[in-house]
Amino acid sequence: MKQISRLSVFRAFRSRNYLLYFFGRAITQFGTWMQRTAVVWVIYSITHSAFLTGVTYFAEQFPAFLFSFAGGVVADRYDRIRVIKITQVASMIQAISLALLVYTGHGKVWEILMLSVVLGIINAFDVPARQSLVHVVVTDESDLPNAVSLTTATASLATLLGPALAGLILSAWSASVCFLVNAASFGGVIVSLLLMKLPPYQQKKSHKNVLAEFGEGFVYVRNNPEIRNVILMLAIVSLLVQPYNTVLPVFARVVFHGGASTFGYLTSSVGIGALLGTVFLASRRPDTHLKRLLLISVIVLGVGLICFASVKSFPVAMLFVVLAGFGGMTQYTVCNILVQTESEPHMRGRAIGILLMAILGMMPLGSLLVGKVSQYVGAPATVIGMGIIGLVVAAGFARFLIRKRVPAPAENYNSSYV
């Protein structure tokens, strides 16, 4: 492992705590994507509705948007290790409940969607604590961008292999097996946290309520153009471009005349592109112009979607959806790195919470919109339109992304909340 950590792409592995964090998250990410794939396929198999597929994404992501502000405050105020332990146990209970519901054959659409809502609420507290913990477990601060890229790479690898494994399990057994595997995977995070050697947590004293502390974070982000513009761009793309995965089941069954395995191949192709994007970012030089990479990634995403929806050959379509996955994950990872590195340590949890609100608030609304539009104009035309919108967004933010860093104003970010 020491020899691996000497490689520039794995330099964050020099930190033992981060190494434990990395492998713990990698295990549970596989289970998470297996469950997500299985839930979408179960809903689509029952209803054959692209709109209700969009509702499935909405049910998990929109509650995370509603509670992300509280999750960001909790990550800044309380012990992040303890918060993550609680969320992992809660996620385990949710996955087991889902498995029992589907296995017994009594699972109705509304019951599955309600459990997705529960998971969304859990994620609202889990993700800000988990992402801001990276700064604690990395020993050398210069390894921080590499650590963020590697952490995102675990999700990308899970996006690649998780749906493929889910497709195999769905074909051989049932969705309930996917849910049970996911439930077991949360133990990996808990074990990794127990093995970490961290200094005792110092309780932060705060006399402000959750809304006041979130207000401070909102004003801080608004007054920092480097963070504000990045989050704004990500919010637009998350609403109008990224929810293309909502209609992937339609492409699998209607356009390419396949089944669960075809859907798994498409989703895994997105994962291949995402993995390539995160590995590319992890191996970048420290002086890389990240904002220019952000511009290029949105262009790649738009072009990939247009080409994917325009071809009729399944193998060729998989290549273009790899391109879309590369652009989409590269964009998200760069935004994540920029927000974390630009944020002050005591505001980082709230900045990440606002970033998550931009993603988790817009993505489910976009999923509903995409599902509804595709019912009228068809999935291919919808995705082509999303790709064109991506290119328009890239053009609109090009000036900001090409120029050098914009300094934040000197005024106090919390003057309105004293």
pLDDT attached to residue 401: 84
Least confident interval from 164-173, 181-190, 291-300, 370-379 = 164-173
Using 50, 70 and 90 to split pLDDT, how confident is the model at 411? Answer: very low
User: Is 0.75 surpassed by the pTM of this model?
Assistant: no
pLDDT attached to residue 412: 41
Question: Which range scores top for mean pLDDT: 158-167, 263-272, 316-325?
Answer: 316-325
Structure tokens at 4: 């691996």
Using 50, 70 and 90 to split pLDDT, how confident is the model at 16? Answer: confident
Mean pLDDT to the nearest integer, 75-101: 89
Sequence-distant (≥ 6) Cβ neighbours of residue 13 within 8 angstroms: 1, 4, 5, 19, 22, 150
- Given a cut of 90, whether residue 387 has pLDDT beyond it is yes
Question: Which range scores top for mean pLDDT: 56-60, 101-105, 164-168, 312-316?
Answer: 312-316
Q: Which amino acid is at 258?
A: G
- Domain map (residue ranges) of the chain: 2-406
- Given a cut of 50, whether residue 415 has pLDDT beyond it is no
Query: Hey, how many other C-beta atoms are within 10 angstroms of the C-beta on 399?
Result: 9
Which among 377, 368, 267 has a CA at the least distance from the CA of 36? 267
Whole-angstrom distance, CA of residue 372 vs CA of residue 260:
22
Report the number of secondary-structure helices (H) and strands (E) in the chain: 15, 0
Whole-angstrom distance, CA of residue 389 vs CA of residue 92:
38
User: Which fold would CATH assign to domain 2-406?
Assistant: Growth Hormone; Chain: A; (1.20.1250)
pLDDT attached to residue 288: 66
Mean pLDDT for all residues in the chain: 81
The more confidently predicted of residues 324 and 349 is 324
Using a pLDDT cut of 70, give the percent of the chain over it. Answer: 89
Burial level of 16, CB count in 10 A (0-12/13-18/19+)? Answer: middle
pLDDT attached to residue 410: 42
Whole-angstrom distance, CA of residue 30 vs CA of residue 37:
11
